Structure 1
Amino acid sequence: MKVAIDMRALPRTGIGNYSQALFEGLPKLFPATIKTVSVADNVIISRQKLRGYINRLSRLWWEQQKLPNLLRKNQVDILHNPMNHGLPIKQVCKSVVTIHDVIPLVFSDQYLKTFVERTYYNLALKVAISRSSMIITDSAFSMNEIIKYLDVPIKKIRVIPLACGKEFKPVLEMNRLKNVREKFGLRRPFLLTIGGNEPRKNVARLINSFEGISEKYSVDLAVVGGDWRGSGFSKGIMKANNVYFLGSVEQEELVALYSSAELFVFPSLYEGFGLPILEAMACGSPVVASNTSSIPEVAGDAALLFDPRDQEDMNRTIRGILGSREIKEELKQKGFERAKQFTWENTLNKTMEAYRYVLS
């Protein structure tokens, strides 16, 4: 079986890591059965309006003209696109697409602001749905959202959860932890959150509720994530006391930050999966998170949940953990066990089952 994996997702992103895991992991796990080949167009979509339009046209041309020829030349049995859409209309082999979420449709005013963006996204999704033999998604929640927003029959969708990499584990070397904390100026105990200023990540609401927590428990807040689509936090948020904006960090730094944090807080309004929850758990950080979308499905009983739109509930939940060593330790141990339930071996095995079904 020869499977082409679309590798256009940017490296060091969630979808990029997923693509890499498929490309490298499948032939290692099934060496006698499967061979993977990489296909990519090397086009990066610019945020500048005119350049972005040209980029999208270039991408469409590659998908609809060049990609089918590559698949035919390489005698590919299945094309798997792991990045929500991007399948050719002209079918020369079976196709599988992973639709991780429908976030641009749920928050269209933030993600699809222009007519061109809306047209491109909706057209690409329609092609992906109509031309794919199977749709893979990360959670039961996302499956139901795909059915709701895209009217896809349930029999065409298969839920295959993600996993975090083996590098996400507690850092025990004190010098490594110390160096990372010194690099980012984190001299006191700190809470960690991820998401930058992307609106659905809801970090601004967490920052607004943090001052009282910081005063009572003598903790800081470290925020990982860069500016979203070129826009930063408001000046008022940036001036918040005891909040450190770390920007984008290297993966090994992120592992050390998870391992050092008193608590990982994930206040997101909407996720298709929520991989940072598992990453934090695997590194030994107690987790508090939103009670919305796919997050309860991923967290199970290993995190305390709050209403992400209720600042008082968020504040109360965080305080409840910071004030109890017993709860923190219980969540830490439950988190280790929960993270173990999600493995790349399981993801790859289920993906291979999906491929076999498509070819049967």
Structure 2
Amino acid sequence: MDGISRYVTNLVTHLMELGANHEYFLIINPAFPTERGRREEGRTLPFSPSPALHFMEAPSPLLSLRDFYSLPAFLTRLGIHLFHAPNYLTSPWTGSYTKVVTVHDLIPFLYPKTLWRSGWKWKLYYKSKYPTYLVLHKADHLIADSARTKRDIMDLFGISPEKITVVWPGIEARFHAGEKPSGGFLKKYGLEGDFLLYLGRQDPYKGLGLLIEAYRALDPVLRKRYRLVIAGKKDARYLNLLLDLIDRLSLKDRVHFLGYVPDEDLVPLYKAASLFIYPSLYEGFGFPPLEAMASGTPVIYSRGSSLEEVIGENGLAFTPNSVPELAQAIRTLLQDSRYRATVSERGRQYTTTLTWQKTAKAILGVYETAGEDL
């Protein structure tokens, strides 16, 4: 499940729990299995049945050119009062309803090199900026995942601050539960022994080259005890660059790439790690380090972007792009077990306050304020 799918699933689930006198229509992409199709295959959408929740198939595949024109007319015919787009990749046009758009981050505009894996149509879409400009300006209200994302929206697209409400997403309760993983789980991923973990996308702005160099700067005794594990969907082009770096630094037997890790394996993976390291230069929010903290794993992160805002004193921060500082942060936590336990407990306690109940309540408040007559 990707980040936006997780956002929608948790938001809808907890809006239902609030029990407000509203009806909700979840618009399903016809390019993917519908609720009926899922049920026929023995699968269900991850929502409890509710008379207030309805599923509708969009008239055209979402994000297609036809969708940009057909969706507003479809929503108007449906007679809805408010439409919430869970990201800004939606039709810039609107209809006889209030429109709220969530902006998680603006990475394609701030780090355009991340678009190298995209097709020419998406490269043109982002390069022009105009479709996104229209979406953000024509929306009645915007929700930003962090104050940093809000500032980026204002700086890049000239949106007034009054039009943007910051609502942090929540961290699922499942990350707080569970015991240390079994030997069978560790063997499944070839993870016998202690290890340091990164989990996320493989992109240059994620700082993986920096992480590998900082790992090489550790004392040999620490490298011998702790392997570096990099988890997340592999991308051949960038992976080859990282493998070249690993080869040059003679770390071939100490750095392990797991590839994609399914959602159900995230909790035991986080719990098995000695440290979670997130050297990303930019995040709109940053789920992985917060999930690791909720699992009781101490986190090291790069200052700047939203990470400093959402993690703060509850993890150990280092200056972006500083190999020596990152290496020293790793040494500090590995060599001082008492401090490591303190950071672990501080992070675990802090993330219990980041609930989806709180997020859903805040977003419902945005709906009711933006919609006025809801």
Alignment of 1:47-66 (within 5 A): 59-65=64-70
- Aligned equivalents of 1:34, 1:153: Cα separation in 2: 29
Alignment partner, residue 348 of structure 2? 336
Report the AA paired with residue 35 of structure 1: E
- For CA contacts below 8 A with separation 6 or more, give which structure has more relative contact order: 2
**Count of residues paired in the alignment:** 335
Report the AA paired with residue 205 of structure 1: L
Alignment partner, residue 36 of structure 1? 24
Report the AA paired with residue 120 of structure 1: Y
- Aligned equivalents of 1:159, 1:229: Cα separation in 2: 36
Alignment partner, residue 333 of structure 2? 321
Asked if the contact 2:281/2:305 (under 8 Å) is kept, the reply is yes
Structure 2 residue corresponding to 1:221, chosen from 219, 228, 248: 228
Distance 1:272 1:42, change over 3 A: same
Asked if the contact 2:194/2:273 (under 8 Å) is kept, the reply is yes
Q: 1:213 is paired with a residue of what secondary structure?
A: coil
Alignment partner, residue 7 of structure 1? none
Report the AA paired with residue 36 of structure 1: Y
Residue 206 (1) aligns with residue 227 (2): no
Structure 1 residue 70 displacement after superposition: 2.6
Structure 2 residue corresponding to 1:193, chosen from 198, 208, 212: 198
- Aligned equivalents of 2:273, 2:130: Cα separation in 1: 43
CA RMSD of aligned residues (A): 2.3
Alignment partner, residue 11 of structure 2? 22
Asked if the contact 2:146/2:168 (under 8 Å) is kept, the reply is yes
Report the AA paired with residue 194 of structure 2: P
Alignment partner, residue 6 of structure 1? none
Residue 180 (1) aligns with residue 185 (2): yes
Distance 1:82 1:145, change over 3 A: same
Report the AA paired with residue 226 of structure 1: K
Percent of residue pairs bearing the same amino acid type: 28
Structure 1 residue 154 displacement after superposition: 0.4
Structure 1 residue 323 displacement after superposition: 0.6
Structure 2 residue corresponding to 1:255, chosen from 267, 282, 293: 267
Distance 1:57 1:263, change over 3 A: closer
Structure 2 residue corresponding to 1:305, chosen from 317, 320, 325: 317
Asked if the contact 1:168/1:255 (under 8 Å) is kept, the reply is yes
Asked if the contact 2:277/2:299 (under 8 Å) is kept, the reply is yes
Structure 1 residue 37 displacement after superposition: 1.0
Distance 1:144 1:90, change over 3 A: closer
Deviations along 1:102-144, one digit per CA (max 9) or x if unpaired, are 1111112332787643442323312211221100001111111
Structure 1 residue 212 displacement after superposition: 4.2
Deviations along 1:215-251, one digit per CA (max 9) or x if unpaired, are 3221011111112486533232465331111111112
Structure 1 residue 101 displacement after superposition: 1.1
Alignment partner, residue 352 of structure 1? 364
Alignment partner, residue 150 of structure 1? 157
The alignment's TM-score, normalised by the length of structure 1, stands at: 0.87
Residue 100 (1) aligns with residue 100 (2): no
The alignment's TM-score, normalised by the length of structure 2, stands at: 0.83
- Aligned equivalents of 1:58, 1:286: Cα separation in 2: 39
Alignment partner, residue 290 of structure 2? 278
Distance 1:326 1:108, change over 3 A: same
Structure 1 residue 58 displacement after superposition: 6.7
- Aligned equivalents of 2:187, 2:107: Cα separation in 1: 36
